[in-house]
Amino acid sequence: MIGGVQTPPIQGIKTRNRSNNQGLSRQHEEVQGSRKAKANLPFNRIVTGDARDVLPQIPDSSVDLSFWSPPYYVGKSYERNLTFEEWQDMVCAVIAGHARIIKPGGFLAINIGDILCFPDKSIPRFRADNMRHKKNPVTRKQILETMTVYPDYNRKEIGAVLGCSEQTVQRRLEHNNVRGGKRQTQTKLLLTGCMVVEWGEAAGLYLYDQRIWHKDPCWMNSRWHSNSYRSVDEFEHIYVLHRPGIVTYDRARIDDHEWSSWGSRGIWQIRSVARNNRHEAEFPEELASRVIRLFSPEGGVVIDPFVGSGTTTAVAKKLNRQWYGIDSDPKYTAMARLRTDAA
């Protein structure tokens, strides 16, 4: 149920809770301590491990804000071995793992591309008749009209009348000129927002707000833009969930100009990082800065269970917050430590 309205079940998407995630095969490089022992971990550190194993070690009600961007399931190198079912289980379990550690009144902010895009053999092919790139302007309608006038003509003779080849006549009549990825599996598109909200509510975390990050157009992620009506990829969502409790509302965290220019605005215009040379999916420091300043107090605890190159932890340190990062790849945790230490 969203906003008091009963939402229909998502076709093909299972609503999951923590019990659905048992038995998943995982690889761990360096999980600190036992999974079952909820150790009093000191903050201001970055550990290597699966967030599903590390989050249970964080003390109860100790985190003011968790800000992170999960794998988007769009074919990045670090997610190519995940099935769609495994992706759902992972994100759902990480959300559920926050229900105990977020302080009452605290926040979980998830930055995610709202559209999932992946192959699905059950989807009918989308076929496109591109009018711009035809080498010959002859249309199917013209060919059919010519065949009515000359019913005994073969394709070669019809082509001679219209000034085109026999092959062009055949392509127009049989729709062979219509493109739709002849050898590729059709692409399925799904929205992630409803999934995030469902998984959050199942864990006792509720949608508080959303922001749209309007970034610069990502032409490389939209290779179809010149051959379809689809829009170019130029925005992502930040879904802000909260754990029920008294929310400390402190406008002094940002000044009046910042409040009017972005604090109270639903769309944030922030350029993407210039180069993803540290990580394939790095978000800009300005994005992390705004979320951290709005939704956490100075001296509070900010965590990132998919810390990547360390943007969240580095910015949290600069803003006088305590910080904690987790990543399954030791290459990234080493990078995040160096970047955060230098902040």
Pick the CATH number of 18-118+190-342 from 1.20.1300.10, 3.40.1800.10, 3.40.50.150, 3.20.20.10: 3.40.50.150
Looking at residue 173, its pLDDT comes to 83
Residue 295 · residue 107 · CB < 8 Å? yes
Q: Hey, what are 56's tokens?
A: 């249970």
Rounded Cα distance between 100 and 98, Å, is: 6
Contact 20, 92 (CB under 8 A): yes
Tokens 């409790």 belong to 245
The amino acid that residue 136 corresponds to is N
pLDDT of residue 12: 39
State residue 220's pLDDT score.
54
Instruction: Report whether 46 contacts 340 (CB < 8 A).
Output: yes
* Token reading at 38: 């909820």
Whether the Cβ atoms of residue 314 and residue 339 lie closer than 8 Å to each other: yes
Maximum Cα interatomic distance, the chain, rounded to a whole number of Å: 88
Spatial CA neighbour of 127 closest among 188, 184, 181, 187: 181
Per-residue pLDDT of the chain (343 residues; tens, 9 = 90+): 333 333 333 333 444 443 343 333 343 333 443 343 344 567 999 999 999 999 999 999 999 999 999 886 654 554 567 788 888 999 999 999 999 999 999 999 999 987 777 677 887 766 666 666 667 788 889 999 999 999 999 999 999 999 988 888 887 887 765 455 556 677 777 888 899 999 999 999 999 999 999 987 765 555 555 556 777 778 899 999 999 999 999 989 999 999 999 999 999 999 987 555 555 567 899 999 999 999 999 999 999 999 999 999 999 999 999 999 999 999 999 999 999 999 9
Calculate the CA 185 to chain-centre distance: 21
In this prediction the pTM is 0.74
Q: Rounded to whole angstroms, how far apart are CA atoms 56 and 60?
A: 9
pLDDT at 8: 35
Structural contact between residues 324 and 313, judged by C-beta atoms closer than 8 angstroms: yes
Helix, coil or strand: residue 27: coil
Quote the crossing angle between the two packed helices 330-342 and 311-318, to the nearest 10°. Answer: 20
Residue listed under structure tokens 């989050």: 55
- Evaluated on CA atoms 8, 13, 17, 19, the torsion sign reads positive
> What long-range pairs does 133-137 form, CB within 8 A, spacing at least 24?
133/227, 134/177, 136/164, 136/165, 136/168
**CA–CA distance from 289 to each of 47, 97, 106, 270, 295 (Å)?**
22, 24, 17, 11, 10
Residue type, 106: G
Residues in the chain: 343
199 by Cβ neighbours in 10 Å (0-12 / 13-18 / 19+) ranks as: buried
